[in-house]
Structure 1
């Protein structure tokens, strides 16, 4: 039997049940925010962090336990809500085993992505808008429907993924290099999510070949500028991990916060090649290969 042959649309959400499920999913984030306000003690450091964020300045010193970081993050993002716009997705950080060892954590972290973080492709990226920018050859998975919240395997999860978007993340380390690894601080400051250049959505076929192609995702990057040209290549399975597994990890982390994934949500998987500190005058180009299809995105950096 085909890998995808057992999927029966009749068993997925339909009619009033679908409407109810999507309504609950849409309400989940606001419910979490209200719960955070009720359950999290006020932290006077949030105002200073929000002020530094808005001014594109170095963050004040921040030492915080990982268990308290989500409260801090939610309070910070609430302060920034007017300029961030609506929530559109999530970011997975500290995914690889090497990163977890560096940060001394047992699992990945998750941050929030908002509409106004996204820079249209073709628009120059001003580095003055980010205190300590890092350009990353990232990749966005686009959720197809809320059924992914019930998926038990990679194959089941793939049935609820509709596509992907090229994405050059412009992460913000918030402090001058070298930055001392601190998982609590990273989580509290939204896992370095700041902005990024997002490309058009590319559909993923619901076939075994499509499933295998996503697992074999490959990227090629070219950085060109005043100091010359540098090229990098990577296969996700070796440099980062399986994209569907990362999506499932994001889903599980969000579930602990009371958040359900829904159609159209984007999940940032992380960088596939080494992160690069961009300088004005450079162009960063990423070419993605998924099966027999390629797509490309570029970012030009200005002061």
Structure 2
């Protein structure tokens, strides 16, 4: 995990990386206030690269851990070509997830307006069990370095009223805020289990209709492909995945606006002998 983040909690003002066009502390602090007040914010101005967005994200996370708890892992966004094209980015992006992101359990009830721009999407978590994840290349390598696959509804807060692009998506920490966790599934490091992850179907419904349906291959061709990509992305910034951290693998559905009075359910078909699911109610 980003070790400098914890050190930054004791520092004021926020430490600013040296590259140009990193947003000023005041701009990031205003974004944080919007998140805490559940009010949409304007995009951060002057960012022309993903590096600028990453700089802003590092500052934002250093503020938000004081409210949403310590970092417990990462989320990977833009894990399919359509999402990448929408944001003008040719690869996925990484955010940090907080203790609050994983606090809720299946069946929980949350306000429909839990955030500034509240959304819901079908996702999937894994838990890292070996440092070997940082060198994993094959699907079996990855399975040997994780011990749980966990049904997961992510509830991102996209916060910006307009002007969302790649740098601003990174700046808002890829929307990480809330999530709802299902019953963990023990990992089996076998070709069969890897194949099931790739051929499963993930379905999201509300209590009225089906909202989205996607194959396991929707995430970079296979859900397990996300972890080597993430390890490489972290390595490029001098970071590593650590034992006990969680990784949100990405959206099997678009991030859809939450509506009050709904029960959102994500069902994973053909992953196990019987479908497994996770759900959340909104009020």
**Would you say same fold, with TM above 0.5?**
yes
Matches within 5 A, 1:36-47: 37=15, 39-40=17-18, 42-47=24-29
The alpha-carbon deviation at position 34 of structure 1 amounts to 5.5
Secondary structure of the corresponding residue to residue 246 of structure 1: helix
Correspondent of 2:175 among 169, 184, 192: 192
For residues 239 and 209 of structure 1, the distance between their equivalents in structure 2, rounded to whole angstroms, comes to 18
Report runs of 4+ in structure 1 exceeding 6 Å deviation.
Answer: none
Conserved? CA contact 2:34–2:116, under 8 Å: no
The alpha-carbon deviation at position 184 of structure 1 amounts to 0.5
CA gap 1:206/1:281 in 2 versus in 1, 3 angstroms: same
* TM-score between the two structures when normalised by the length of structure 2: 0.87
Conserved? CA contact 1:287–1:296, under 8 Å: yes
Higher helix share: 1
* TM-score between the two structures when normalised by the length of structure 1: 0.82
For residues 231 and 51 of structure 1, the distance between their equivalents in structure 2, rounded to whole angstroms, comes to 32
Conserved? CA contact 1:239–1:273, under 8 Å: no
Matches within 5 A, 1:275-294: 275-289=255-269, 290-294=271-275
Secondary structure of the corresponding residue to residue 117 of structure 1: helix
Correspondent of 2:35 among 53, 56, 62: 53
Conserved? CA contact 2:139–2:194, under 8 Å: no
**Structure ID, larger Rg:** 1
The alpha-carbon deviation at position 238 of structure 1 amounts to 4.4
Residue 133 of structure 1 pairs with residue 111 of structure 2: no
Residue ranges of structure 2 left out of the alignment (5+ in a row): 9-13
Residue ranges of structure 1 left out of the alignment (5+ in a row): 1-27
The alpha-carbon deviation at position 209 of structure 1 amounts to 1.3
Residue 230 of structure 1 pairs with residue 210 of structure 2: yes
Secondary structure of the corresponding residue to residue 238 of structure 2: coil
Which residue of the partner structure matches residue 11 of structure 2? Answer: none
Output the aligned Cα RMSD. Answer: 2.2
Conserved? CA contact 1:143–1:162, under 8 Å: yes
C-alpha distance after superposition, 1:34-76 (max 9, x if no partner):
5993634753211111111111111133232322111211111
Which residue of the partner structure matches residue 165 of structure 1? Answer: 150
Conserved? CA contact 2:199–2:217, under 8 Å: yes
Which residue of the partner structure matches residue 183 of structure 1? Answer: 166
Residue 84 of structure 1 pairs with residue 68 of structure 2: yes
Conserved? CA contact 2:198–2:215, under 8 Å: no
Residue 109 of structure 1 pairs with residue 93 of structure 2: yes
Residue 301 of structure 1 pairs with residue 275 of structure 2: no
Conserved? CA contact 1:164–1:202, under 8 Å: yes
Conserved? CA contact 1:287–1:294, under 8 Å: yes
The alpha-carbon deviation at position 213 of structure 1 amounts to 1.6
CA gap 1:283/1:258 in 2 versus in 1, 3 angstroms: same
For residues 219 and 248 of structure 2, the distance between their equivalents in structure 1, rounded to whole angstroms, comes to 15
For residues 80 and 32 of structure 1, the distance between their equivalents in structure 2, rounded to whole angstroms, comes to 10
Count of residue correspondences: 270
CA gap 1:273/1:150 in 2 versus in 1, 3 angstroms: same
For residues 260 and 294 of structure 1, the distance between their equivalents in structure 2, rounded to whole angstroms, comes to 33
Secondary structure of the corresponding residue to residue 74 of structure 1: helix
Conserved? CA contact 2:65–2:71, under 8 Å: no
Correspondent of 2:81 among 93, 97, 118: 97
